[in-house]
Amino acid sequence: AAKASAHNHPDWDMDTVFLIEDLIDALALDSTLSSHPIVKHVSHPDQITEIFDRISYAKGASVIRMLEGFMGEENFREGVKAYLINFQFRNAETNDLWSCLQRYSTVDKNIPHVMDTWTRQMGYPVLTVTQAGDTITLTQQRFTADQNASYDPN
């Protein structure tokens, strides 16, 4: 809907609206210890309603938008179109979408692998760069809004 609105009403500045209504919200919610991945295994129908919340929608929209920027708008659109045609009368899984998008990607990256890091893990990374003499070290960890919070993924 945001794409159509942006096309028909460029004066509405939908990119800014998206940042305010979805991306910032997704980052704030996903920085808590109570967050959850977008893609989550469901073993009972009652669990379905538990996973469709603001994190799923806001983070989902954000990572799809990131993927579109990564692939390019035209390639992304063609991949989504192929996905919709291929699965119009069938059930689909997350990897079905990634596979369709991979076929239309000109980027030399494994789309399922890249997207799994964003959709199958909760939170988002913060990178730290330190320099000691001629050595530069990069470390990555999950960002949490409460810096004193601890999370044991095991």
In 3D space, the residue among 25, 114, 16 whose CA is nearest the CA of residue 64 turns out to be 114
Share of the chain above pLDDT 90, in %: 43
Whether residue 147 is predicted with pLDDT greater than 80 in this model: the reply is no
- The residues, any chain, with a CB within 8 Å of residue 9's CB and separated by 6 or more, are none
CB 85 within 8 A of CB 100: no
Residue 93's CB: how many other CB atoms inside 10 A? 10
**What tens digit of pLDDT does each residue of 80-94 get?**
999 999 999 999 999
The mean pLDDT value of the chain amounts to 88
- pLDDT confidence band for 148 (50 / 70 / 90): confident
| Cα separation values, 60 from 12, 37, 40, 80, 131, Å | 22, 10, 12, 15, 35
Q: How far apart are CA 154 and CA 143, in angstroms?
A: 17
| pTM, full prediction | 0.78
pLDDT tens profile 118-139? 999 888 888 999 999 999 999 9
Nearest to 97 by CA among 50, 51, 38: 38
The one-letter code for the residue type at 93 is E
Give the residue-averaged pLDDT of 104-118. 92
C-alpha closest to that of 97 among 69, 120, 76, 118: 76
**pLDDT reading at 11 higher than 90:** no
Q: Could you confirm whether domain 2-123 is CATH 1.10.390.10?
A: yes
